[in-house]
Amino acid sequence: MRKIKIVLLLNLFSIIAFSQQNENPSIAFDFLKGFQNVRDITLSKNQNEVYFTIQSPLENISKIAFSKKVNNNWTQPELVPFTSAFRDIEPFLSFDELRLYFASNRPLSEEETNNKDYDIWYVERKNITSSWSKPINIGHPINTDKDEFYPSVAKNGNLYFTSENDKSLGKDDIFVSLYLDGKFGEPQNIGTNINTEGYEFNAFVSPDESFLIFTGYNREDGNGSGDLYISYNVNGKWSLAKNLSNKINSKQMDYCPFYDATTKTLYFTSKRNNTNDSKFDTINEFVKEITKSENGLSRVYKYKITL
C-alpha cells in the first residue's frame, strides 16, 4: 500500500508540475539558429559550457560542436578537437565534467578507413580548463557488433544507453550498465515499464537516478511519431512511463532529452513542422516560411518544467 501511495503522489506531483507551465517550447540558444540540422545537447552544471550535434540536411554528416559562455556571452561554436571523418553524435558530459561520452561509427583504429557500427566512446580531461584526450572506445561489455547509442551517465557512474541486442524486447531498447569498482557491468534491460516490443531510445537519466526521460515511438498514447516519456525510480524500480504531454510533444519526432535541474529546464530535439503552404507574393515570403524554426528539420528546444 505504501508503494502504491508513493507512485500516486509522484504522478500527482508530475501532473501539477506540467500544469504550471504556460509557455510553448522555444529555441534553446540563438547561436543554434545558424545550423540547418542540430540535435542532442549536454550542458555543464553552471550552464557555461554546451556540446551539441550539427548535421547536414540529409544527416549523412554529423559532427559534435561546442560553445562556452565568456563574460556572459556565448562564443562562436567550434568543432570539438577530436572530430573525425566519421559520424559523431549524442554528446553527454559526466557529472564531474571530466569525461565527455558520445556515440560514433568511427573505426577502432585511426589507421582504418572504413566505418563500423555505432559504439559508445569517451574523451577525458584533467580539469575543466584542460584539453580533451584522444577518443577512447568504452569497449566490452557495453559495445557489441550491434549499434549502441545515446549515452547518459548518473552521478554514481551508471551508464544508460540505447541498443538493439539479444536482450531487447523487440526493437531498440534502453539498457543500463552498473558502474562498480571502476568497471562497467553487463548491460541490463531496464524492464517492461519502459521498454516494449517497439522502439524506445535516447534516454536521459537524472544524476541521482530518480527519473528517466526517453523517446517512445508510435505508442497508443502518443502523437504518431516519437514522443517524450518519463519514468520515476520508486524503491529501485522504474514506474510505468507516462507521456510528457502535448505541451512538449508534437506530431513529429521529439527526442534527445536533457534536463538541467538548476534552471528546471528541459532541453530536447524536435522535428516539429509549422510551415504552411500559401500563394506567396514574393520570394522573400517563401524563404521566410521555409526557414522558420519549426520547419521539419531538427532543432533543439527548451521548456521550463519541474520534474
Q: What is the pLDDT of residues 102-115, one digit of tens each?
A: 999 999 988 888 88
Q: What is the pLDDT of residues 39-78, one digit of tens each?
A: 999 999 999 999 999 999 999 999 999 999 999 999 999 9
pTM of the model: 0.91
| H or E element that contains 267 | strand 265-270
| pLDDT of the residue at 74 | 97
Nearest-Å Rg of the Cα atoms of the chain is: 19
What lies within 8 Å, CB to CB, of 291 at 6+ separation is: none
What lies within 8 Å, CB to CB, of 6 at 6+ separation is: 234, 235
- Residues of the chain with pLDDT below 70 are 1-22
Q: What is d(CA 131, CA 295) in angstroms, rounded to the nearest whole number?
A: 37
| pLDDT of the residue at 118 | 97
Q: What is d(CA 62, CA 39) in angstroms, rounded to the nearest whole number?
A: 10
End-to-end CA, the chain: 24
Q: What is d(CA 222, CA 229) in angstroms, rounded to the nearest whole number?
A: 9
CATH class of 2-304: mainly beta
| pLDDT of the residue at 147 | 96
